[in-house]
Structure 1
Amino acid sequence: MLKKRHILVILIFFALFATKAQELDTLQSDSFLESVMEDFASTIEGDFDYTEFLEEYEYYLQNPMNINSPDYDVLRRVFALTDYQIYELKKHISMNGGYMATLYELATVNGFDNKTIYRILPFIKVEGVSNPYNLKLKNVLKYGRNQIFLRYQEVLEEQKGYSFASDSLLEANPNARYLGSPQKFYAKYNFNYQNRVRFGITAEKDAGEEFFKGTQKQGFDFYSAHLFLQDFGIVKSLAIGDYHLQFGQGLTLWSGMAYGKTSSITGIKKRAQGIRPYTSADENNFFRGIATTLKKKDWELSLFYSNNRIDATVDTLDAEESYIASLQETGFHRTPRELAYKNNLNLQLFGTHLSYKTEFSRLGFTFYQMEYDKDVQGRISPYNQFEFTGLQNSGFGLNYETYIRKHSFFGEVSMSSNGGIATLNGLVTQLDPFFSISLLHRYYSKDYQTKYSVGFGESSRNNNEQGLFFGTNMIFHSKLTLDAYVDLFSFKWLKFRVDAPSQGVDYNLQLNYTPARYSSIYLRYRHKGKSINITDDMHLNRVYANEKRNFRIHLQHKPYHNFTVKSRAEWSSYQVEGSDATNGFLVYQDAQYNFSKIPLNLSARIALFNTDSYDERIYAYESDVLYAFSIPAYYYKGTRAYLVMKYQIARNINFWFRIAQTWYADRHTVASGLDEIDGNRKTDIKAQLQIKF
């Protein structure tokens, strides 16, 4: 049953819909964005903050890029255009007097099929080439844009961590209950002037954390702030406060999200941004300090320094000496145990990146050194005995990329201070306008040690892996394309839950049909084979091969300008060597409707799912409030539904409300530990207010 205060909150939110408002500012769906996030979620097998990924898309949705004076790095990095597509676009514009008269001309540019064109259309425009406003204080104040976000979310059912616990129970086990309330609060302010002057503050309280009392008298559990300046003469960028570093192909130094193995083969080549502001709420994966990039003609020099405290588990050798047993990256501080992890470890990092860049080539060198204030020892097991221990680590890396006659070469080689090596080398070649292939080889030694690495690979960490990736994209027709890849990989040493050297294969086929701008369908088949420990009757771990197969059909259609439907059916199968296969399926129907007479947008889904176990889980992107994200794994047997409402209260004030509920037909409890719910359903609500000025 809903509590009275929850009903009151919901009624207040619905009452806002009676307010007189202006015309609705709608958002266009981007299936490419959804696909990338789904693939990423299924790869990392855990929660990830996609805020910054979504912010870039939203910025260019609200401020479309002039295709006659484009930022080609953004077209590569954000919208995943290939080097061949960029080359052909430049050639087309140059051959037509440096000006594209209409976006319809994109259909005549080699390499631009319907799928690509429709994907980027919402984010580009055609205008004459004009100079930006001069960077004067009055222009910054006049034309800069401010935004405030306030977000609330909560699980309505009572979870074990919020239930009554007696004093005697808490005295015996202080971690038997969460210290704080079940509400999650998020607040954010940002200022942006043409992406050249940016300033922001982010604050977050997770569910279960205290708020303005007890252990959190300062209010929110996490605060972040940044000032970011771009294109000030010789200063290409300057970050003060919290920031990201992204260089090369992600082997030496890269924080934040990066494209990985996705259904589109364009993701194998990373597009480094260098220094960028940190605007997310991940409490550990960023740098705090100062960083700058200086540019002189074709040369760029980046310098950076960071001094940040991160969460870690402290253990003791004796009464006077302590060490770090493990790093904690959840960001949760809900119980005395979790609070004991908070800010235990100081991490300082400094370094440089030097690069030489021409129109179609880049060569870069990266160096960094990091130092902890406590000895990091970890809990040594056979599989992780080559991981970093100690106080200091450093990394050196050399990266390159060049484009020669439809062939794009790229790579990076990196070495950690202990001598561990990681290298990858790739090629994307356009054999003709309708056929391209991609090759990538990687070798990551078992003793390569780095904290900030997101190079292409099967594992989330770039060590103990060798692999060869082959992918292709075929354009049979402007409306019909095929994406396919096969990835062969091996692990020469043990891995977590794999007590022997092992190998595997991952291949994917996706057929895309885009008959019109507002209609599309794709079929996907994916197969992945790896190894895993299975405990036998003698309680011994034995390594067995396992295979997972997924088949998906996805349809999207917009029959009217204000109405969109999406349908999906997906089947999954999981089989361990010597055992019968287990199966699962997911089917869902989405509908999105924009009212024409009132500024109201509705998005809804009804989903049915049934899997034999967690192993057959299926990930699916869900609509959410702006800059939030939901990519849950569907497993067990049940039904899930959600409704998202966006209402424009005034020209510069938007309001979102989301409610989602999962019913389980084969469960009497939901989740586990302190998140356990006594019942077969879980209901989440979320509300967000955006104020722009």
Structure 2
Amino acid sequence: MNKLSTTLLLAISINTPCLAQSTGSNHSQWQQYFEQLADYDDIEDNNMENLYERLCELETSPINLNTATDDDLKQLSFLSYTQIEELTEYLDRYSPLQSLGELSMIQSLDPVRLQLLRHFVYIGEEKKAEQFPTINNILKYGKHELVGTVTVPFYNRKGDRNGYLGYKYKHWVRYTFKYGQHVQIGITGTQDAGEPFFAGKNTMGYDHYAYYAVIRKLGRIKTLALGQYKIRLGMGLVMNTGFSLGKTTSLVFSTPTNTITPNSSRSDAYYLQGTAATLALGKHTDITAFASYRKIDATLNDDGSIRTLLHTGYHRTISEMQRKHNSAQWTTGAALRWRNYGFHIGANAIYTAYNRELRPNTSQLFRKYDPAGKSFYNGSINYGYISHWLNINGETAVNNEGAIATLNSVSLKANSSLTLTAIQRFYSYRYYSLFGSSFSDGGKVQNESGIYLGASWMPLSRLSILAYSDYAYFPWARYTAALASQSWDNMVQTTYSLSNRLALSARYRLRLRQQNHTDANSEKTLIDKTEHRARLSLAYTGTHWTAKTQFDGAYTVFPSNIKDKPNSRGGMIMQTVSYIQDAITITANIGYFHTQDYNSRLYAYERGTLYSFNFPMFYGKGMRGAMFVRGSIGKNIIIIGKVGATKYFDRDVISSSYQQIDSSWKTDMDLQVKWKF
């Protein structure tokens, strides 16, 4: 099987002529920066994957700086609020720009951001009175994109033999039509391994379809979305179906407020379905309104009420298929926003109703204050001020129980090389929002208070430092702690450019958290869990060759008197090498990992297919290897192949239940074709 995988990949690389200049190297550059910021909390919550997909979308539809609006620039989430403000002012004063090199005049744009901008913006013609394009121009000059991907596993799971309703292959297809920033139409069909295809209840083929049509800049209509979409209001306390920034990304990324984006995700969760629009009421005021009705998955109680809302999207077994779309959700809301002289203020309200009553199992302490009933509403006020050196943002929300949540942040640009950030949050344990997602340590906008202090510093032209310290207190029980608990999280990351081609990066994270433990008297108490995580990497970037050597380590410590919780150590070394020549990109990586158990698990980034952010997890003892090949045929066709294999030395069976593989090997192959026409 491994020989077959290698043969197929070699066939792709040999038979793909070098007829066009590939964008693979450029794409790799911003990917490398992006993966440096990934933390395992963000990875496990899929925050990085959602942000990554959004940047991939932006890369395919870059922004013309000479016609860009304020809302356009806010899509550049890798810029801070201050950098966006300075970029906006520079464009107002000096537009039209003649080259991207002029952006180096903006002091707050460091060399990394200047390089990133080149992948997402361009200098085009200036059209001060830009009109919405005619139907003829849209049809004539619009761009089509068709992507198809299949994952082939070279093994059988237990469920593949008996239990799953479909075959073992995973595949998806996506069609997109775009006309600049004005029109975007698309549909995505996706199939997880084990789900029936054109069989059973999936008579329409794929298990999940995402479809949308989005129009922007149509007179007073800033954005109009039909079909499936994602929306974020304020800072996300009442509504955010997109991504949330983590503790590291909060130092270098920004999140625009009151945004409507199409849902092209392959996930059958965290989106709305219906219509949404943002309209300009005046020069400084706009309103956003939306309405959504969709079927959802849920586990039901014996009386037909909803016990748990499900977000996995898996429909592989009879029981999973029975839960598919067995309930319905209706959501509507509106937001009013005013901006002027750097100040902004907004009011947000949403209402949600279900066709069945939500009745969670409140005998579990951590679920005692979960939402219960058939209808819910949330309201909030968000506010802030942005200038060249100061950025203030905040939101205060209330739910139908009268419980409060508030989040406030201050970012101060102390000088050209140092930016300080502070974030305060208070989320009552009685507060809940069915669509809330924002900055937190516990992963929910509920049952948490905390303060976060961070810094982004470039003391030398070749040295950059990111650091934060975050304290959180949980006044009520949570999933892993039956009593009030606390957490303290600290991280420092440095990157030093030894030369124009060689960079050394180091990261250390110390996290202290409390969790459940049952003592000798069968009483539940809390014990301290201390995690040490470190990473050291050396990266080389040449004209055609790039290489990266990375060491990761984890050490989890429990109190010495707790005999059933042994300390856990783990380490991993990974070597990655890439070769880029015209239309061909080849990347290979190999690594060895050895951890004592799941508590010392480790993650490593792997180059993958388009629109997929790959950060596989490893624990136990074994090796991981992968080969990635990307080739272009002319300017319109991209072919990608990847083979990845993991060999475990400490087990003969991988995973459990229906996912069980009766082997110490796990090998997968991804094949993808992208056609632009």
Q: TM-score, normalised by structure 2?
A: 0.93
> Does structure 1 residue 542 correspond to structure 2 residue 525?
yes
Quote the residue 1:342 is aligned against.
Answer: 324
* Aligned partner of 2:242 among 246, 256, 272: 256
1:53 maps to a residue whose letter is L
Deviations for 1:546-592, whole angstroms, at most 9, x for unmatched residues? 111111112222122x2211221111111112256321112111111
Quote the residue 1:276 is aligned against.
Answer: 261
SS at match of 1:122: coil
> Does structure 1 residue 627 correspond to structure 2 residue 624?
no
Question: Aligned in 2, Cα 1:300/1:623: closer, same or farther, shift over 3 Å?
Answer: same
* Aligned partner of 1:196 among 164, 182, 191: 182
Quote the residue 2:166 is aligned against.
Answer: 180
* Aligned partner of 1:643 among 627, 636, 640: 627
Q: What number of residue pairs does the alignment pair up?
A: 669
Quote the residue 1:168 is aligned against.
Answer: none
Quote the residue 1:117 is aligned against.
Answer: 114
Shift of 1:52: 5.5
Shift of 1:217: 2.4
1:250 maps to a residue whose letter is G
Quote the residue 2:11 is aligned against.
Answer: 14
Contact 1:38 1:619 in 2 (8 A): no
Question: Aligned in 2, Cα 1:83/1:51: closer, same or farther, shift over 3 Å?
Answer: closer
2:628 maps to a residue whose letter is V
Shift of 1:98: 3.7
SS at match of 2:41: helix
SS at match of 1:138: helix
SS at match of 1:292: strand
1:221 maps to a residue whose letter is D
291-300 vs 11-20, greater mean Cα deviation: 11-20
Shift of 1:512: 2.0
Contact 2:360 2:367 in 1 (8 A): no
Shift of 1:69: 4.5
1:622 maps to a residue whose letter is E
Contact 2:405 2:428 in 1 (8 A): yes
1:152 maps to a residue whose letter is V
Shift of 1:645: 1.0
Quote the residue 1:586 is aligned against.
Answer: 572
Q: Distance in 2 between matches of 1:151 and 1:30?
A: 20
Q: Distance in 2 between matches of 1:331 and 1:646?
A: 30
* Aligned partner of 2:421 among 429, 438, 455: 438
Shift of 1:681: 1.2
Shift of 1:55: 4.4
Quote the residue 2:273 is aligned against.
Answer: 288
Quote the residue 2:342 is aligned against.
Answer: 360
Shift of 1:541: 3.3
Quote the residue 2:23 is aligned against.
Answer: 26
Question: Aligned in 2, Cα 1:515/1:233: closer, same or farther, shift over 3 Å?
Answer: farther
> Does structure 1 residue 323 correspond to structure 2 residue 309?
no
2:428 maps to a residue whose letter is S
Q: Distance in 1 between matches of 2:634 and 2:192?
A: 30
Q: Distance in 2 between matches of 1:148 and 1:466?
A: 46
Which residues of 2 match residues 544-583 of structure 1 at below 5 A? Answer: 544-560=527-543, 562-578=544-560, 581-583=567-569
Q: Distance in 2 between matches of 1:443 and 1:428?
A: 18
Question: Aligned in 2, Cα 1:270/1:461: closer, same or farther, shift over 3 Å?
Answer: same
Q: Distance in 2 between matches of 1:152 and 1:237?
A: 33
Deviations for 1:123-165, whole angstroms, at most 9, x for unmatched residues? 33445534557510111012111011111113211111112x5
SS at match of 2:527: strand
1:190 maps to a residue whose letter is T
Quote the residue 2:227 is aligned against.
Answer: 241
Quote the residue 2:490 is aligned against.
Answer: 507
Quote the residue 1:232 is aligned against.
Answer: 218
2:311 maps to a residue whose letter is E
Question: Aligned in 2, Cα 1:350/1:37: closer, same or farther, shift over 3 Å?
Answer: farther
Contact 1:601 1:647 in 2 (8 A): yes
> Does structure 1 residue 454 correspond to structure 2 residue 440?
no
Contact 2:42 2:48 in 1 (8 A): no
SS at match of 2:426: strand
Question: Aligned in 2, Cα 1:207/1:647: closer, same or farther, shift over 3 Å?
Answer: same
Question: Aligned in 2, Cα 1:453/1:41: closer, same or farther, shift over 3 Å?
Answer: farther
SS at match of 1:671: coil
> Does structure 1 residue 147 correspond to structure 2 residue 130?
no
Question: Aligned in 2, Cα 1:633/1:646: closer, same or farther, shift over 3 Å?
Answer: same
Alpha carbon RMSD of aligned pairs, Å? 2.5
Q: Distance in 1 between matches of 2:575 and 2:69?
A: 37
* Aligned partner of 1:307 among 266, 278, 293: 293
Contact 1:528 1:547 in 2 (8 A): yes
Shift of 1:92: 4.9
Quote the residue 1:469 is aligned against.
Answer: 452
Contact 1:532 1:546 in 2 (8 A): yes
SS at match of 1:669: coil
Question: Aligned in 2, Cα 1:365/1:220: closer, same or farther, shift over 3 Å?
Answer: same
10-19 vs 24-33, greater mean Cα deviation: 10-19
2:293 maps to a residue whose letter is N
Quote the residue 1:668 is aligned against.
Answer: 652
Contact 1:76 1:82 in 2 (8 A): no
Q: Distance in 2 between matches of 1:8 and 1:478?
A: 44
Q: Distance in 1 between matches of 2:523 and 2:493?
A: 40
Structure 2 gaps, min length 5? none
Q: Distance in 2 between matches of 1:8 and 1:496?
A: 42
Contact 2:466 2:494 in 1 (8 A): yes
1:613 maps to a residue whose letter is D
Contact 1:406 1:429 in 2 (8 A): yes
* Aligned partner of 2:209 among 214, 223, 231: 223
Contact 1:24 1:647 in 2 (8 A): no
Shift of 1:213: 1.9
Shift of 1:375: 0.7
Question: Aligned in 2, Cα 1:134/1:392: closer, same or farther, shift over 3 Å?
Answer: closer
Question: Aligned in 2, Cα 1:582/1:20: closer, same or farther, shift over 3 Å?
Answer: closer
Percent sequence identity over aligned pairs: 25
Deviations for 1:60-82, whole angstroms, at most 9, x for unmatched residues? 44454344554554544434222
Deviations for 1:631-684, whole angstroms, at most 9, x for unmatched residues? 111211111011111122343111111110001111111111111111111011
SS at match of 1:316: coil
Deviations for 1:289-313, whole angstroms, at most 9, x for unmatched residues? 1111111321111111100010001
Shift of 1:115: 2.8
Question: Aligned in 2, Cα 1:600/1:34: closer, same or farther, shift over 3 Å?
Answer: closer
Contact 1:425 1:442 in 2 (8 A): yes
2:190 maps to a residue whose letter is E
Deviations for 1:272-296, whole angstroms, at most 9, x for unmatched residues? 2521111111112100011111113
Contact 2:85 2:386 in 1 (8 A): no
Q: Distance in 2 between matches of 1:244 and 1:264?
A: 21
